[in-house]
Structure 1
Amino acid sequence: MSVFTRSRAGKALGGIAVVAVSAVLLAGCAGGGTTAEPSETNAPPAEDLTLKIGTVLPQTGSLAFLGPPEEAGVLLGVTEVNEAAKGLTIDLTPGDSGDADNKAFETTVPKLQNAGVSAMIGAAASGVTKLFLDSNVSAGVITFSPANTSPDFTEWPDDDLYWRTAPSDLLQGEVLGNLVAEDGHKNIGILYQNDAYGTGLRAVVKEVFESTGGTVVAEASYNDGDGQFDAQVQTISAANPDAIVLITFDQFATIAPLLVNAGQDAANFYLVDGNLKQWGADVSVSLEGAKGTTPGPVLEDDFQGRLNDAWTADGNEELTDFSYAAESYDAVILLALASLAAGSTDGADIAAKLQEVSGGSGEGEKCSSFAECADIILDGGTADYDGYSGPVTFDENGDPTEASIGIFQYKADNMHERIDTR
C-alpha cells in the first residue's frame, strides 16, 4: 500500500477556474432534512433519521463502463445500512452524470437538489464534477465522489462540502511515471484528454518520468467529444517513442488501432483508470503486454460476491469490472455514519463529522462495518471506519490520506489482470 499523506492549511481560491452552471442548477434547494440536536459527545439521535442521497454517476457517456461497479457499490452500501436498523434509513435516488459532452448532469443535479438530498455521490469524471460542484456548495449539498482524482479539488472553495474516497492523481501519476521508467523506457509519448483529469495526470506523469532521467518526446491532446484522432496519432508516432501513455476515457478503443496501424507496439502502451477496461473484442487490435494503473486495493472475494448479489437482484448482468466499487460503497457508509454521529441529515452537519468517522481526527475506535461503527456511535463513542477502499482517514481538505494503486497487465484476450499493488 502506498501511504499518501498531506497536510495543508485551508482551502484557497488560488487560480481555480470555476465553470459557470446554468441558472436552473443554481436554483436548486438546500439539502436539508431533519436535525436532531447534534452533540459533540455523539449522543444517540432523538429520533430515527431518514438520510436522502442521490447519485450522479455515469450511466451514459465516455465513462459509462465505470457506472455499473460504482452504482453497485452504492446499492450495496444502502442495502446494508438499511438492513442494519440502527436508527438511520437511507432514501436513494439514482441519477446519470453523463459526461462533459452530453451533460446529463444538467438534468440530474437540479432534480436531486429539488428532492432535498443531503448528499450526491458522484461524479466519476473530475471535469463533470467541476461543472456542478459550485451549485451544490451554494445549495448546502455534499458532493462526495468515489472516483474524482484531479488535484484541483484539494484547494477548491467548497465550504467543506466536497469529499472523495479516491486519491488525487498526485499518487497515481507518481506510480505510473515510475512504472514506465522501471520497465526500461527512456523516450515516451503522452496522448491525453484536454480536461481537468487529463491535464492533471499528464503533468504528474511527465514530471515523475523526467525526474528518472527519461524524456517526453511528444505530447498530443484532444477534447472530450472529439471523434477524430489522426492528427494526435501522427504527432506521437512521428517522434518514435519507445512507450506511449494514454490518458483517455473510452476514446481509447478508437485511438489504439490507429496507433498500432501507425507502427506502434501495443505492448508498450500504458493506460490509466479512465480507460483500464476489460476491453475484450471491443478493441480491434491485440493489447497483450500493455499495462495500466487504477486506484484501489485488492477486493475480498466476499465483497465482490455481495456487490454482484446486490447488482443482479435488479436484473442487471454480473459485474466484470469492480473499479471504484469499494470507493462508492465506502462513500455511502461514511455519509451514514457521519449523519448518525451528527444526529442530523443537514449537509453541513454531516460534513462536520466526516473527517471524524474516517479516523482523520486521530481519535476513535476502529470498526469495519456500518453496524459495528453505528453501535460505537450509539453508545456515545467515536467510530473510526476502515473500509474496503482502505483506511480512508480524511485530511482537512476531504482527501483520503492513505490509498493503494493497482498495476494491471493485458493478456492475449484483451482482458487485464492485477500484477502488483503499490
Structure 2
Amino acid sequence: MISLSPAAPRIAKLTALSVGVAFLATACGGTSTPSSTETTTAPQGAISCPAGAGAGASTSAAAAPTGAVPPSTTTTDTPLKLGSLLPTTGNLAYLGPPEIAGVNLGVQEVNAAGGVLGKPVEVIHRDSGDTKTDIATQSTTALLGQGVSAVIGAASSSVSKTVIGQITGAGVLHFSPANTSPDFTTWDDKGLYWRTAPSDVVQGKVLGNYIAACGAQTVGMIVLNDAYGTGLQKNVKEAFEGAGGKVVEEQLYNTGDSQFSAQVDKVIAAKPDAIALITFDEAKSIIPLLTGKGIKPTQLFLVDGNTSDYSKDFQPGTLKGAQGTQPGTFAKEDFKKSLQAIDPALKDYNYAGESYDAVNLIALASEAAKSTKGADIAKQLKAVSEVGEKCNTFASCVTLLRNGKDIDYDGQSGPVTFSDAGDPTEAYIGIYQYDDTNKPQPVKEEFGKL
C-alpha cells in the first residue's frame, strides 16, 4: 500500500503527501521488491519496465439487506434535477461518452429504486466544449435556467474554472467527476464544489515515483499549458526529482495548437530516458512524431488525459509497452456491461465510475437532507460517504437511510470519503500498459490517502 500522510488542515493538507518508491517498483519490475535504497540503471534511451498482470485491490463494499426499497417518509414537490456539463466537442470529447453513460446509468438505477424523495430524478445533458470556446458558459446558463439542483462536470479543470463562480453563485451544487487540479481544494466555493476524482497531487506523485522505479534517471515532458497540465507537471517533477531523477526538458503547448514538432524536437534533443506526455487528445498527433524519430513506446508514460484506446489511430504495435496512469479503480466487467447497455459504442471507461458515483452521492445526500436544494445536498455529502454501514448501490444505501441508519457509500471509483473541502481523501490510481493493438490493459492499482 502506498503510504500517504493523514489529512492536514484544508489549505495545507496536500503538501504533506509521500509515496513509497519501493512499493511502486514491484509494479514495474515483476515480483521482486527492492528496498527504498536500491536503484536501477537503464541504458540511455531505453527503459525496460515490463508490468505483470496484477489483480488490483478489491473495492467491493458490503451491500445492505436485499428486498424492496422502502418508500421515502418525506416527499418533495420539486424533483431532483441534475445537469451534466460534459464534453461532446473539444480536446476532451473522448471522455464525454463514458462520463455521460455513467451519469445515465446512475440516474436509471436511482429511478428503478423509486427515485429521490418520492419523485423520479431528471437529467439534462449539455456540452462543456473546451477553453477555446464559450460553450461551457452558454451550457451552464441554460442548465441554471432550467432549475437544476446540481451540475455534474466539467471534465476539464480549466473549463470548470470558467463556470464554478456562475454555478456556486446561484446556490447550485457543482460536482465534477474528473477535475484534478489542486486549485479547487482551497477555492472560495461556498461549500458547493465537490469531486469524485482525486487531486493531481496523488496521481503526480504516483507517476513520478513510478517512472523512477522503472529505472529512468532523466525525464522530458510535453505538457498542456493549462491548470490540469501544469499542475500535474509540477507534482510529477517533484516526485521524480525527489526519487533522485532529473527532469531535463519541459515543453509547453496551448489548447488549440496543432503543430508540436518544435516541442518534440527539443525534448528528444535532451536525450531523456523517459518522456511524460501530460496532454489531452493532442497525444494522437504527438505520439507519431516521437516514435517516428526513434523514441521507443517503452519510454512513454501517459496520464489520465490521454490513456485511451488508440487501436483505430495507430499501426499495431505503435504503443506496445507504453504505460499510463488513471485515477480510479479498474472498471469491473459487470459495470462495463451495464455501461454498454446504456451506450453500446463505448470503448473507453475513463471516469465512468466517478460520474456514476456522483449521481448516487448527490441522490443519497438529497435523501439525507430531505431536500432537493443544492446547498442542502452539499451539507450531507460528507455524511453519506463516511462512518456508517457500508453500501455500494443507491438501492442498498437508501434502504439503510430510510431505516434510520448511517451509511458509508463506497462506489465504482473506489472508497469515496470526502474532506471538508469536498476532495476525496483516499483514491486508487490505476497503472495501465499498452498491448500490441494499442489498447491500455490494467496492470495494477495503487492506493493512497491524503
TM over 0.5: yes
Alignment identity in percent? 51
**Pairwise CA RMSD of aligned residues?**
1.7
- More deviation in 189-198 or 96-105? 96-105
Q: 1:209 to 1:3 in 2, by over 3 A?
A: closer
The residue aligned with 1:335 is 362
The residue aligned with 2:214 is 183
Q: Counterparts of 1:215 and 1:183 in 2: how far apart (Å)?
A: 14
Counterpart of 1:71, as a letter, is I
Q: Deviations over 1:147-206 (max 9, x none)?
A: 111111111110110000011111111111111111111011011001000000000000
The residue aligned with 1:96 is 127
Q: Counterparts of 1:377 and 1:185 in 2: how far apart (Å)?
A: 50
2:442 is the alignment partner of 1:410: no
Per the alignment, in what secondary structure is the counterpart of residue 305 of structure 1? helix
The residue aligned with 1:136 is 167
2:421 is the alignment partner of 1:397: yes
The residue aligned with 1:9 is 9
Q: Counterparts of 1:3 and 1:94 in 2: how far apart (Å)?
A: 39
Q: Counterparts of 2:290 and 2:383 in 1: how far apart (Å)?
A: 48
Do 1:44 and 1:380's aligned partners in 2 also have CA atoms closer than 8 Å? Answer: no
Choose which of 300, 303, 321 in structure 2 pairs with 1:269: 300
Choose which of 338, 347, 368 in structure 1 pairs with 2:392: 368
Q: Deviations over 1:128-156 (max 9, x none)?
A: 10110011111111111111111111111
Do 2:10 and 2:185's aligned partners in 1 also have CA atoms closer than 8 Å? Answer: no
2:197 is the alignment partner of 1:173: no
The residue aligned with 1:292 is 324
Per the alignment, in what secondary structure is the counterpart of residue 126 of structure 2? coil
- More deviation in 3-12 or 294-303? 3-12
Q: Deviations over 1:117-136 (max 9, x none)?
A: 01010011111101100111
Give the CA deviation at 1:46. 4.4
Do 2:80 and 2:149's aligned partners in 1 also have CA atoms closer than 8 Å? Answer: yes
Counterpart of 2:332, as a letter, is E
Do 1:124 and 1:145's aligned partners in 2 also have CA atoms closer than 8 Å? Answer: yes
Choose which of 203, 206, 210 in structure 1 pairs with 2:241: 210
Q: Counterparts of 1:44 and 1:401 in 2: how far apart (Å)?
A: 32
Per the alignment, in what secondary structure is the counterpart of residue 94 of structure 1? strand
2:225 is the alignment partner of 1:194: yes
Q: Counterparts of 2:10 and 2:213 in 1: how far apart (Å)?
A: 36
Counterpart of 2:329, as a letter, is P
Do 1:50 and 1:345's aligned partners in 2 also have CA atoms closer than 8 Å? Answer: yes
Q: Counterparts of 2:235 and 2:136 in 1: how far apart (Å)?
A: 28
Q: Counterparts of 1:149 and 1:199 in 2: how far apart (Å)?
A: 11
The residue aligned with 1:352 is 379
Per the alignment, in what secondary structure is the counterpart of residue 272 of structure 2? coil
Q: 1:278 to 1:295 in 2, by over 3 A?
A: same
2:97 is the alignment partner of 1:68: yes
Q: 1:4 to 1:120 in 2, by over 3 A?
A: farther
Counterpart of 2:313, as a letter, is D
Q: Counterparts of 1:4 and 1:143 in 2: how far apart (Å)?
A: 27
Do 1:367 and 1:385's aligned partners in 2 also have CA atoms closer than 8 Å? Answer: yes
Give the CA deviation at 1:5. 6.3
Q: 1:45 to 1:275 in 2, by over 3 A?
A: same
Counterpart of 2:342, as a letter, is A
The residue aligned with 1:82 is 111
Give the CA deviation at 1:376. 1.7
1:282-321 to structure 2, matched below 5 A, reads 282-283=313-314, 286-312=318-344, 317=345, 319-321=346-348
The residue aligned with 2:61 is none
Counterpart of 1:169, as a letter, is D
Q: Counterparts of 1:127 and 1:389 in 2: how far apart (Å)?
A: 22
Per the alignment, in what secondary structure is the counterpart of residue 206 of structure 1? helix
Counterpart of 1:307, as a letter, is L
Q: Counterparts of 1:323 and 1:3 in 2: how far apart (Å)?
A: 25
Do 1:44 and 1:379's aligned partners in 2 also have CA atoms closer than 8 Å? Answer: no
Give the CA deviation at 1:345. 0.7
Per the alignment, in what secondary structure is the counterpart of residue 281 of structure 1? coil
Do 1:193 and 1:248's aligned partners in 2 also have CA atoms closer than 8 Å? Answer: yes
Give the CA deviation at 1:310. 2.0
Give the CA deviation at 1:264. 2.1
Do 2:276 and 2:301's aligned partners in 1 also have CA atoms closer than 8 Å? Answer: yes
Choose which of 147, 169, 180 in structure 2 pairs with 1:149: 180
Q: Counterparts of 2:337 and 2:237 in 1: how far apart (Å)?
A: 38
Choose which of 231, 241, 258 in structure 2 pairs with 1:227: 258
Give the CA deviation at 1:283. 3.2
- Specify every segment of 5 or more residues in structure 2 that has no aligned partner in the other structure, as ranges: 13-71
Q: Counterparts of 1:159 and 1:122 in 2: how far apart (Å)?
A: 17
Q: 1:400 to 1:125 in 2, by over 3 A?
A: same
Q: Counterparts of 2:415 and 2:332 in 1: how far apart (Å)?
A: 15
Counterpart of 1:368, as a letter, is N
Q: 1:343 to 1:5 in 2, by over 3 A?
A: farther
The residue aligned with 1:45 is 74
Q: 1:46 to 1:264 in 2, by over 3 A?
A: closer
Q: Counterparts of 1:103 and 1:179 in 2: how far apart (Å)?
A: 37
Q: Deviations over 1:325-345 (max 9, x none)?
A: 110000000000000110111
Q: Counterparts of 2:185 and 2:136 in 1: how far apart (Å)?
A: 22
Q: Size of the alignment, in residue pairs? A: 384
